[in-house]
Amino acid sequence: MKINPIGTSGVNPYNRQVNKVETIKTNALPKDKVEISASAKEMQQVSQISAQRQSKLDELKSQIENGTYKLNASDTAKSILDFYSNK
C-alpha cells in the first residue's frame, strides 16, 4: 500500500517560516543615502586655499621656524581694533 502526502504536509513548515523571516528582514532594512546640497558643495569650493595664499602661508611658516619672523605689535593691535569697530 502506498501513502501519498496530501496538501503541504510533505513540506517542512519550519523551513517556510525561516524563509519568511529572512525575506522580511532583507526587505525591511532601510538603505543609507547621502545627499550633499548645492550650498554645501559651494562651501567646499570656497574653503579651498588659493595657490597665492598657500605660498604666503608657506613663507610665513618657514620664517617662524627659522626665527626670522618679526611681529609688529602696533599693526596687530590696530587690525584687531579695526576688525571689531567695523561690526
Q: List the chain domain ranges.
A: 49-85
For position 60, what pLDDT does the model report? 92
pLDDT for residue 84 is more than 80: yes
| Rounded Cα distance, 4 and 10, in Å | 9
Q: What is the dihedral of CA 53, 59, 65, 68, to 10 degrees?
A: -130
pTM here?
Answer: 0.35
More confident call, 56 vs 28: 56
pLDDT in tens, 1-53: 677 666 655 566 666 666 676 766 666 567 788 898 998 888 777 666 677 88
Q: What separation, in Å, do the N-terminal and C-terminal C-alpha atoms of the chain show?
A: 101
